[in-house]
Amino acid sequence: MLDDWALAPLEEGARHDLLEVIDDRAGSRSTILTSQLPIEHWHGWINDPTLADAILDRLVHNAYRLTMKGESLRRKKAEEQAAS
């Protein structure tokens, strides 16, 4: 599981490491990603067109995509606790 995907800039070495991890898992293991960054911005976040194509092709092939909308549950819970 990769939680908070694309939260911080991705450095060059990390791009290659990410490709290696995703490639090792592709077709044999599940990978769960959570991200606040919309999927249409992932390619630019990777910041290397060739690696981005390779990584994202492996991630989105046979993927199930769930898009959640609405207010942050953490924020809502904090507001409820503050009110009580």
Residue 1 lies in a domain: no
Cα–Cα distances in Å, from 83 out to 19, 23, 38, 79?
A: 46, 48, 32, 6
Domain count for the chain: 1
Residue 19 lies in a domain: yes
Model pLDDT, residue 70: 84
Model pLDDT, residue 14: 95
Residue 76 lies in a domain: yes
- Structure tokens that stand for 4 in this block: 């908070």
Residue 7 lies in a domain: no
Residue range 19-29: mean pLDDT, rounded: 94
Residue 67 lies in a domain: yes
**Rg of the chain over all Cα atoms, to the nearest angstrom:** 16
Residue 24 lies in a domain: yes
Residue 31 lies in a domain: yes
Residue 23 lies in domain: 12-83
* pTM (predicted TM-score): 0.78
Residues in the chain: 84
CB 34 within 8 A of CB 4: yes
